Amino acid sequence: MAFDNLSSRLQMGLRRVTGKGKLNENDIEEMLREIRLSLLEADVNYKVVKKFLANVKEQALGEKILKGLNPGQQVVKVVREELKRTLGDEASELNIKNGRTIIMAVGLQGAGKTTAVGKMALFYRKKLKKKPLLIAADIYRPAAIDQLKTIGKQIDVPVFDMGVNTSAVKIVTEGLKYANQIDSDFVIIDTAGRLQINEELMQELIDVKNCCHPDEILLTVDAMAGQDAVNVATAFHEKLDVTGIILTKLDGDTRGGAALSIKEMTGIPIKLASNGEKLDALEIFYPDRLADRILGMGDVLSLIDTVTENIDEDEMKSQAEKMMSGSFNYNDLLKQFKMIKRMGSLSKILGFLPGMGNMKQAMSQVDDKAFDKIEAIIFSMTEKERKHPELIDKDFKRRERIARGSGRSIQEVNKLRETLETMKKSMRQMKNMDEGQLKNMERQVKSGNYSAMPGAQTKYKKGKGKGKGNFRF
């Protein structure tokens, strides 16, 4: 995540106050010094840092906090609310019309604009059942047209282009006529970018805007741009009245200063965020959820959204019924892993959970290829073995054959057997729980105590031959 360093430094500063029963002015000043350093290191604009600290200090030094119960927790709440306000306070979604919506995407070359256009088309087709059309209006970079056409094929969305030997205005005008012919209700125009802002670029964008009258003008901003993103956004906004920001490359190892500076300095809301290379890695930008993730509080709502978008409800019910019935086998396990893979990388999914985002060492050891290894093992089994796991449990020669066929070790085959048995055992335990026990388990997990989950292991012993060849989850 782009805010890893900021997140760890902020949490370090807040730990100075959360463990104390009483706070004084010196405690608050020490915490503010740590927050100041963390924000400046993240390349947040100094004016934003100054205002952020002033607002936090004013509230944190209030008598209600200093003399109240749990003052440390109150301060954390103040910092969270200020982070949320700086990021934009509330989610600002696109202005989607009942009829046709026209989106004009602008930005500097290299910010990820063309890829973001494709992601947007896929996102709103899935989310709102829109019928998108992409218009390739970058006449200066032939590779941009080819890139957009390739993306269009990948997501099965039509792309209108007229090559590079005509004007952008002509392309957009004809593209909108084509949108009428195919009955498209969601048109996205990919305009030309430059390595730097110049008058020629801006005039062309103004001409395109005047000919298509877009409902949204979205500026693509690279999260790695830091404070420079503010200058870029200001320049585009002065000429085009930009309506929103698409923040890209949020999954990279960047400082994240752009996200914390741009709304405060320009007033332009961040509307969408791209958090991965895959074309489905786009989401609505929720300031409160990002504030929670930065402070290590997790983002369960985004996890729920990810599950809902990628996993069919009937499929989930069917899997749950099989697990509860005790007839869960390797075919069912394979289906579950495929469902999880559709949601993205394991490290991304774990990052949504409270407390997990801060466990850098554990997260760095998450093996995103673990599912591929598991698939190789399961595909090396016969259909009978997949349906009847006990055949493998009873026969070492079968396990040897499966290990050779999959190119994995005996230990990994045994680890997979343990995984299947643990899942079946967990579901049997949950089936026998009453409502009070289930609610207690839910409270424990919400507080970060994952050992409360049925089947969870709290101790791992390593002896001779143990700990080798295991899948990393």
Spell out the SS3 assignment of the chain: CCCHHHHHHHHHHHHHHHCCCCCCHHHHHHHHHHHHHHHHHCCCCHHHHHHHHHHHHHHHCCHHHHCCCCHHHHHHHHHHHHHHHHHCCCCCCCCCCCCCEEEEEECCCCCCHHHHHHHHHHHHHHHHCCCEEEEEECCCCHHHHHHHHHHHHHHCCCEECCCCCCCHHHHHHHHHHHHHHHCCCEEEEEECCCCCCCHHHHHHHHHHHHHHCCCEEEEEEEHHHCCHHHHHHHHHHHHHCCCEEEEECCCCCCCCHHHHHHHHHHCCCEEEEECCCCCCCEEECCHHHHHHHHCCCCCHHHHHHHHHHHCCHHHHHHHHHHHHHCCCCHHHHHHHHHHHHHCCCHHHHHHCCCCHHHCHHHHHCCCCCHHHHHHHHHHCCCHHHHHCCHHHHHCHHHHHHHHHHHCCCHHHHHHHHHHHHHHHHHHHHHHCCCHHHHHHHHHHHHCCCHHHCCCCCCCCCCCCCCCCCCCCC
Look at strands 270-274 and 216-222 and give their pairing.
unpaired
Rg (CA), the chain: 26
**Closest among 292, 291, 233, 294 to 262, alpha carbons compared:** 233
* CATH code of the region 4-86: 1.20.120.140
pLDDT for position 252: 60
Determine what percent of the chain is predicted with pLDDT higher than 70: 74
Residue 137 has φ and ψ, to the nearest 5°, of -110, 20
Q: What is the pLDDT of residue 298?
A: 52
Mean pLDDT of 108-132: 93
**Residue 199 confidence (pLDDT):** 87
**Does pLDDT of 449 surpass 50?**
no
Whether residue 14 has pLDDT greater than 90:
no
pLDDT interval class at 448 (50, 70, 90): very low
* Angstrom distance (rounded) from CA 432 to CA 437: 10
- Taking residues 453-464, report their average pLDDT: 43
pLDDT at 468 over 50: no
pLDDT range class, residue 382, cuts 50, 70, 90: very high
Q: Please check the confidence at residue 202 and state whether its pLDDT lies above 70.
A: yes
Structure tokens at 469: 């060849």
Instruction: Give the CATH number of domain 101-295.
Output: 3.40.50.300
Confidence of residue 76 (pLDDT cuts 50, 70, 90): confident
Q: What is the mean pLDDT of residues 361-384?
A: 76
- Interval 282-300 mean pLDDT: 77
Using pLDDT thresholds of 50, 70 and 90, give the confidence band for residue 378. very high
| Partners of 221 in beta bridges | 247
Q: Please state which of the ranges 66-80, 231-245, 376-390, 404-418 shows the lowest mean pLDDT.
A: 66-80
Band the pLDDT of 454: cuts 50, 70, 90: very low
The residue ranking higher by pLDDT, 435 or 359, is: 435
| Mutual angle of helices 410-431 and 330-342, in 10-degree steps | 90
| Residue type (1 letter), 296 | G
- Asked if residue 75 has pLDDT above 80, the reply is yes
What is the distance between the alpha carbons of residues 313 and 343, in angstroms, rounded to a whole number?
Answer: 14
Confidence of residue 19 (pLDDT cuts 50, 70, 90): low
Per-residue pLDDT band for 78 (boundaries 50, 70, 90) equals confident
**Position 206 pLDDT exceeds 80:** yes
Instruction: Please report the pLDDT score of residue 363 as a whole number.
Output: 45
pLDDT-derived band at 452 (thresholds 50, 70, 90) equals: very low
Section 413-423 average pLDDT: 86
Q: Are 117 and 272 in contact (CB under 8 A)?
A: no
Across the chain, mean pLDDT equals 80
Residue 354 in this model has a pLDDT that exceeds 70? no
306-452 CATH fold? 434 Repressor (Amino-terminal Domain) (1.10.260)
**Domain range summary for the chain, segments of one domain joined by +:** 4-86, 101-295, 306-452
**pLDDT of res. 28:** 86
Query: Cβ(232)–Cβ(262) under 8 Å?
Result: no
Would you state the structure tokens that stand for residue 397, as one six-digit string?
A: 């020669």
Q: Which residues contact 292 (CB under 8 A, 6 or more apart)?
A: 80, 298, 299
For the chain, the straight-line distance linking the first and the last C-alpha, in angstroms and rounded, comes to 18
Cβ distance 149 to 159 under 8 Å? yes
Q: In the structure, what pLDDT confidence band is assigned to residue 72 with cuts at 50, 70 and 90?
A: confident
pTM of the model: 0.68
Percent share of the chain, pLDDT over 90: 36
Question: Mean per-residue pLDDT for 385-391?
Answer: 91
Residue with tokens 């087709």: 125
Q: How confident is the model at residue 38 (pLDDT cuts 50, 70, 90)?
A: confident
pLDDT surpasses 90 at 153: yes
Distance separating alpha carbons of residues 186 and 131, to the nearest angstrom: 6
Q: Which of 146-160, 307-321, 416-430, 453-467 has the lowest mean pLDDT?
A: 453-467
Mean pLDDT along residues 205-231 = 90
Q: How far is CA 224 from CA 42, 243, 291, in A?
A: 10, 21, 18
Per-residue pLDDT at 338 exceeds 80: no
Lowest mean pLDDT among 281-295, 428-442, 443-457: 443-457
CA distance 262 to 285: 13
Structure-model confidence comparison of residues 465 and 10, the more confident one = 10
In which order are the strands placed within the sheet that holds 270-274?
159-160, 132-137, 186-191, 101-106, 216-222, 244-248, 270-274, 282-284
Does the pLDDT of residue 74 top 70, yes or no? yes
Structure tokens at 343: 């949601």
Q: What pLDDT shows up at residue 255? A: 61
